[in-house]
Structure formats: C-alpha cells, structure tokens
C-alpha cells in the first residue's frame, strides 16, 4: 500500500565456519576415508620440511641447530664447485632421458595392445603377467638382476657361452649400467603404469570407433585418429608427473645395483646425497644436494606444464 515502508529482504551468505560444519556433517564418511592419507602427508611429506634449514648449517646431530655453525650457501657452493657435480647431474638426466624415451611410451603401447586383442583370455593373461612384477620388492628385483647377469652362473652369460661368446661382467662395466637399469625398470613398472591408460581407453565413446569403421578406417587408423587423441589428456598429465620424478630416477634401485666401478654412468644426485649424508655424515651438504634436486624438479614440472599448455592445452593446473 502507498505510504507504507517497503520491507527489504537481504540474503545473508552463510559463514565459512557454517559451510565447513555443514560439509563435515554431510560427507563425514568421505572425510574419514581421506584422513589417513592426510596424516601420512603431514607426517612424512610436510613435517620433514622443517629440517631443510639443515642445508644452511654445518650440522652436527648431537648439538642440534643451536650448537651447529650457520654457513649460509657454503654447502651449495661446495656441491656445485665440487668434482662430482657435473658427473651426477649428467648421469641423472641421462638415466631420466632413457626412462622418458623407453619406459614412458611402453605402458601406452601395452595398454593399446591389450585392449585391441580379440582374444580376451590372452589379453587378461598379458595384463596380469605384466602387472604382477610391480609388487615385487625392489630388493628382490635387484637381486634377480644381479643373479641373471652373473658372469659365472647367470642365465644371460650361460646363453652367451652357448653361442661361443666370452662372459660379460655387466654389473661392473659402466657402459652397460643404464641399459640394465632401464630394462629392469621397464619390466617392473610397465604393466602397473598401463592401468591408467587402460582406464582412459575404456572411457572413449564406442560410437567414435563405429563411425571410423563406417568411414572405412582400419585398425591402425582407428588407433591413430580415435584412440590416441582420446587418451592424449591422460598421456600429457602422466608425462608432466613423470617430468617431476625425473631427477629422482628410482635411486633406491641404483644404490642396490651400482658399484664404485660404475659411478661414471650410475652415480646420480640422489645417490650422491645418500653417500655424503649416510657415509660421510655431512648432513648439511647432503640436505643441500637434496634441496638442489627438489628445486630442479620443481622448475622442470612448471616448465613442462607451460609447454603442455601451449602445445596441447592440457595441463595439471
């Protein structure tokens, strides 16, 4: 009615605390499932970061930070100017390059192969046989490699002897290390890594294949024009994640396989940090080497993500 004040209704936005409480009450079971993973990351991924300041100290484990001498960037300078810097960086990127060129495409090819097989029994058998090695301890796998390549009793050298060749000392000759390590990694991880691509392949719309068949496309053309574009976002994501792990290169296996005679091609940044920290008890230098490795990995991930955005428009963030 005219002359009467109009009542203005304002919609109040719920507070952040209210929204959090409502979300917890609604999805408490999902948060409960998430809790163990969050605790694990807090304890083993974030809490140890407090020790990174060790890289700037001549750290003594008995005196702690208060009793250790602050040296600033001296540990970084010692590593970069030392005789092992070029060798470890070169070996890290060479082994990582072998991993990217050989071990990264292999799961993609395996996934396409097992999904394209018409005999489902053979397909499942192949998938299972390549999947199981991932769950074998790396210590056991390295022991198998050493035994198989033994110059006296190893099956590889026994076969070589049958063909009239002299036994080869694979594990003490630096020129064979990268090939041996890459083959071992390929055997152990190809089947497990293929699961991601198999899941992506299952998600491709079958109508795309039917349309390609109607247009007269054979199996190879269907793979090139339907399968590969369909899994390309997954491939790009996995590639960026693998770029971040390049500098790590599975150093645990390298520690179990290499010897002083193979340091020329096998000693990487992570194994050097292990030897300096555990062997020489130079914890400040070891932490500085590890921090240097992490910074390089971060730069590579950011660079790969930007490059992927320019080329394929598929990125992680």
State the average pLDDT over residues 31-42.
91
Of 75-79, 172-176, 221-225, 247-251, give the lowest mean pLDDT range. 247-251
**pLDDT range class, residue 284, cuts 50, 70, 90:** very high
Task: State residue 132's pLDDT score.
Answer: 92
Convert the pLDDT of each residue in 212-228 to its tens digit: 889 888 889 999 899 99
Pairwise pLDDT comparison (7 vs 192), residue with the higher score: 192
- How far from each other are the two terminal CA atoms of the chain, in whole angstroms? 56
Task: State residue 301's pLDDT score.
Answer: 82
pTM value is 0.82
State the average pLDDT over residues 281-302.
89
Q: What are phi and psi of 265, to 5 degrees?
A: -120, -10
> Which neighbouring-strand residues pair with 70?
57
> Which neighbouring-strand residues pair with 57?
70
**Mean confidence (pLDDT) of the chain:** 87
- Whether pLDDT at 133 is above 90: yes
Task: State residue 1's pLDDT score.
Answer: 47
Pairwise pLDDT comparison (4 vs 266), residue with the higher score: 266
> Quick one: three-class SS letters along 281-299?
CCHHHHHHHHHHHHHHHHH
Q: Are 228 and 116 in contact (CB under 8 A)?
A: no
- Whether pLDDT at 184 is above 70: yes
Q: Are 235 and 108 in contact (CB under 8 A)?
A: yes
The three-state secondary structure class of 69 is: strand
Domains within the chain, CATH numbers bracketed: 83-311 (1.10.3720.10)
């Amino acid at each position: 009615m005219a002359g009467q004040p109009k009542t203005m209704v304002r919609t109040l936005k719920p507070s952040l605390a209210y929204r959090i409480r409502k979300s917890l009450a609604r999805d408490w079971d999902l948060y409960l499932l998430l809790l163990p993973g969050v605790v694990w990351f807090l304890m083993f991924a974030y809490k140890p970061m407090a020790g990174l300041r060790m890289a700037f100290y001549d750290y003594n484990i008995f005196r702690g930070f208060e009793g250790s001498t602050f040296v600033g960037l001296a540990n970084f300078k010692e590593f970069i100017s030392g005789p092992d810097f070029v060798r470890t960086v070169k070996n890290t990127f060479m082994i990582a390059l072998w991993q990217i060129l050989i071990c990264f495409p292999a799961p993609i090819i395996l996934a396409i192969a097992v999904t394209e097989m018409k005999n489902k029994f053979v397909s499942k058998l192949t998938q299972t046989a390549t999947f199981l090695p991932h769950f074998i301890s790396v210590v056991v796998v390295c022991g198998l490699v050493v035994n198989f390549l033994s110059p006296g009793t190893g099956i590889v050298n026994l076969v070589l002897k049958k063909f009239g060749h002299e036994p080869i000392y694979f594990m003490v000759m630096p020129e064979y290390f990268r090939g041996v390590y890459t083959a071992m990694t390929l055997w152990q991880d190809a089947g497990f890594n293929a699961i991601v691509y198999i899941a992506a392949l299952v998600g491709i719309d079958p109508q795309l294949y039917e349309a390609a068949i109607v247009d007269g496309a054979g199996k190879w053309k269907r793979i090139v024009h339907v399968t590969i574009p369909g899994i390309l976002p997954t491939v790009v994501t996995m590639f960026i994640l693998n770029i971040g792990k390049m500098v790590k290169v599975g150093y645990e296996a390298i520690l179990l396989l290499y010897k002083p005679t193979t340091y020329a091609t096998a000693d990487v940044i992570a194994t050097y940090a292990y030897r300096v920290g555990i062997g020489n008890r130079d914890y400040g230098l070891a932490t500085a080497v590890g921090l240097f490795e992490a910074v390089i990995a971060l730069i590579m991930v950011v660079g790969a993500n930007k490059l992927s955005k320019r080329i394929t428009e598929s990125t992680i963030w």
